[in-house]
Amino acid sequence: MTDHQQALAHFYRSHKRMPSYSELMRLWGYKTKSAVDYTLRKLTREGVVGKDKQGCIVPKKLYGEVRVLGIVEAGWPSPAEEELVDTMSLDEYLIENKEATYLLRVKGDSMVDAGIQQGDLVIVERTNSPKVGRIVIAEVDGEWTMKYLRQGKNGLYLEAANSAYKPIYPKEDLKVVAVVKGVIRKY
Amino acid sequence: MSPLSIRSFPRAILHIDGDAFFASCEQMQNPTLRGKPVITGLERGIASSVSYEAKARGVSRAMSLHVIRRICPDVIILPSDYELYSLMSIRMYDIVRRYTDAVEEYSIDECFAELTGLRRTLRMSYQQMAEAIKRDLDTELGVTFSAGLAPTKVLAKVASKWKKPSGLTIIPAREAHLYLAKMGVGKLWGIGHQTESYLASKGIRTALDFARADEEWIEKHLSKPYRSIWYELRGDVVFHLETEKKTAYKSISKTKTFTPPSSDKAFVFAQLSKNVENACIKARRYKQATSEIFAFIKTNDFRYHGMEIKLERTTSLPHMIVHALREPFEKVFRARTLYRSTGVVLVHLEPELHQPDLFGEIEATTRLYKVYEYVDKMSEKYGKHAVFLGSSFIAHKRGNHQDTRATLPSRRKVALKGETKRKRIAIPLIGEVA
């Protein structure tokens, strides 16, 4: 930071406003306003100060790289991007592994007690290592089936969330292809 | 046999190749298709992708559909769902990019990845990286890929082809000769029939014969691309990965077939007009323009009737081209003749400059470009062809196909709540689940 910039920053901090040209003459020890103007132009190019619509000098990066988020006149400054860095979109919230994510439309009521209804969209993630207890998508007789993955005495089986459906014990190995990560119901 | 090189991996290049990619994508999203002969390309009249089950029955790519139905009566023929294949393709590149930034998007189902120098950062051997990439791709995409790891692009191509489907072949430079000895020289990437027979006449039959050919002889008798292949086979990199996204084209062409064939002049012209619009959309996307246009109409007995036009200045605005095509079209179009397709090629594309032309026209052109800027914005929001030229109207209204070829991919038939006819969620919908 140059001496000029430091003096300007000091003035702004103590007076809570930017100096005028004549004040800058005194502040920087210049004899003419054109010398002030010359330095101001330089600081403008460097992004330290700027000019508003009326041509008044306004602070920008007066204190180095820290950004001044607008001049506080009354209340809070308008929301700045900096404040939104720690937020996520609905996409990011619903989808963890983008490349492995697919949608399926729900048919029937076998998972109704788990809150999944006919017509819902389920967000699923393809995986090789589904955990017991999760709602999974398995391939049974050439069709997709969505059930809880359970561990029984004789290995893994599938259980519906509706007492009207019987558990599915696979004849051969169970082909689980994905786990359910979310449900979408749009009204 | 002495090796071609004493090194193993001076560079490490991985080539990834989807196994019957389009057909596999269809089998991935519809489990009832697993283990069955499936082909895609219903709308084209020829097979664009053939599942391994169909290959086993003697079906091959580019075979016409009625031949396929004869040799494999239980074949399942599907319309191409390019939206699905494109979504899956982007996922393929992105998964590979988890391991390296240097990825060349070679085609919709193929890519190259440079792994050189990543052993320490990833704490993996080259083989482990290749295995991890293949494992991620296979599990997360639900379709299999064949991978080849080698020190050059040409050798990586040899490797990925070596074991298909779902193979992983690793060829260090010093073992290359063992693979090349078992491979015909014509099977190499970049060597066509002509070169193959020329080489055969010189006694070069296997890829190894070629790699062992004398450097002086190669320099003297072959052109640069083939000399490059020779170096690459010996483990020296000539072809570097092109990791930059394509930013410009030399030419853009758009062709569409319609069924049944038509002798309706207005319809054929509307088809041509629609192709011009499509070509211009692409040109504008890459900020390119041309003054040279070649167009054709193709009769039902596959005869081409071409039209060439040269405009006074470059453009990417379809109505200017369509207008200029009207007169030549009138000349080549024959009444009572059936036409099956039309096409247009924008040649010698240049960067789009709104050059000052005749006085008064500058402003008019600038204003038109503004109009198309909004046309493109509307397409972005509401889907392609949300706004189109009146000259293309009949082609849009009637659609390209009236017969079974008009069958839409399954995803086009279901609309989720909030989706429109032209816009769908960018995540594959893989059917219904009970």
Dist. CA A55–CA A49, nearest whole Å: 12
Residues of B in contact with A128 (CB under 8 A): 139
Reply yes or no on whether the pLDDT at B320 is more than 90: yes
Share of chain B above pLDDT 90, in %: 79
Mean residue pLDDT of chain A comes to 86
Dist. CA B351–CA B345, nearest whole Å: 16
Under an 8 A CB cutoff, do A144 and B431 touch?
yes
Q: How far is CA B223 from the centre of its chain?
A: 26
**Average pLDDT value for residue range A86-110:** 93
Dist. CA B293–CA B322, nearest whole Å: 10
Output the six-digit token pair for B140: 């997360």
Under an 8 A CB cutoff, do B32 and A143 touch?
yes
pTM: 0.79
Reply yes or no on whether the pLDDT at B401 is more than 90: no
Residues 53 through 112 of chain B touching chain A, CB cutoff 8 Å: 91, 94-95
B140 touches chain A (CB under 8 A): yes
> Residue A62: helix, strand or coil by DSSP?
coil
Q: Do domains A1-94 and A98-184 have the same CATH topology?
A: no
Task: Tell me how far CA of residue B244 lies from CA of A108, B81, B96, B237, B379, in angstroms.
Answer: 47, 27, 15, 19, 26
- Which residues are registered as beta bridge partners of A156? A151
Reply yes or no on whether the pLDDT at B276 is more than 80: yes
Return the pLDDT at B304.
92
Return the pLDDT at A82.
67
Reply yes or no on whether the pLDDT at A166 is more than 60: yes
Return the pLDDT at B352.
82
Share of chain B above pLDDT 70, in %: 98
Best mean pLDDT range from A11-20, A38-47, A149-158: A149-158
Under an 8 A CB cutoff, do B429 and A128 touch?
no
Q: What CATH number labels A1-94?
A: 1.10.10.10
Dist. CA B283–CA B350, nearest whole Å: 10
**Average pLDDT value for residue range B182-188:** 95
Reply yes or no on whether the pLDDT at A95 is more than 90: yes
Under an 8 A CB cutoff, do A144 and B430 touch?
yes
Return the pLDDT at A54.
78
Alpha helix (H) residue ranges in A29-156? 33-45, 81-84, 90-94
A19 vs B14, residue with greater confidence: B14
Give the chain A residue nearest B432 (alpha carbons).
A105
Give the chain B residue nearest A101 (alpha carbons).
B427
Dist. CA B299–CA B334, nearest whole Å: 10
Best mean pLDDT range from A36-40, A108-112, B2-6: A108-112
Reply yes or no on whether the pLDDT at B402 is more than 90: no
Mutate: best of A94, A99, A122, A137, partner B, most B CBs <10 A: A99
Dist. CA B368–CA B351, nearest whole Å: 18
Return the pLDDT at B360.
61
User: Can the peptide bond before residue B428 be classed as cis, meaning omega within 30 degrees of 0?
Assistant: no
**Average pLDDT value for residue range A173-181:** 93
According to DSSP, residue B63 is labeled -
Reply yes or no on whether the pLDDT at B92 is more than 90: yes
CA B60, B66, B71, B77 torsion: positive or negative? positive
Banded model confidence at residue B222, pLDDT cuts 50, 70, 90: very high
Banded model confidence at residue A75, pLDDT cuts 50, 70, 90: low
Banded model confidence at residue B246, pLDDT cuts 50, 70, 90: confident
Reply yes or no on whether the pLDDT at A72 is more than 70: no
Domain ranges of chain A: 1-94, 98-184
- Which residues are registered as beta bridge partners of B433? A106
Q: Which of A44-58, A94-108, B236-250 has the lowest mean pLDDT?
A: A44-58
Across the interface, of B141, B428, B434, the residue whose CB is closest to A103 is B428
Banded model confidence at residue B126, pLDDT cuts 50, 70, 90: very high
Banded model confidence at residue A87, pLDDT cuts 50, 70, 90: confident
Under an 8 A CB cutoff, do B425 and A103 touch?
yes
A182 touches chain B (CB under 8 A): no
Contacts of A173 (CB under 8 A, 6+ apart): none
| Residues of B designated catalytic | 110
Return the pLDDT at A96.
93
Amino acid letter for position B104: E
Query: B295-308: per-residue pLDDT in tens?
Result: 999 998 889 999 99
Across the interface, of B31, B140, B414, the residue whose CB is closest to A126 is B140
A183 vs A78, residue with greater confidence: A183
| Residues of A designated catalytic | 110, 147
B242 to chain A, minimum CA–CA distance in Å? 23
B423 vs B331, residue with greater confidence: B331
Banded model confidence at residue B399, pLDDT cuts 50, 70, 90: confident
Contacts of A130 (CB under 8 A, 6+ apart): A136, A149, A176, A178, A179
Mean residue pLDDT of chain B comes to 92
Return the pLDDT at B177.
96
Best mean pLDDT range from A37-46, B222-231, B354-363: B222-231
- Which residues are registered as beta bridge partners of B372? none
B34 touches chain A (CB under 8 A): yes
Residues of B in contact with A97 (CB under 8 A): 140
Dist. CA A8–CA B2, nearest whole Å: 77
**Average pLDDT value for residue range A134-139:** 95
Residues of B in contact with A90 (CB under 8 A): none
Under an 8 A CB cutoff, do A177 and B142 touch?
yes
Dist. CA A128–CA A138, nearest whole Å: 11
A91 touches chain B (CB under 8 A): no
**Average pLDDT value for residue range B147-166:** 97
**Average pLDDT value for residue range B141-157:** 97
B363 vs B46, residue with greater confidence: B46
Question: Do the beta carbons of residue B64 and residue B45 sit within 8 Å?
Answer: yes
Q: What CATH number labels A98-184?
A: 2.10.109.10
Return the pLDDT at A74.
60
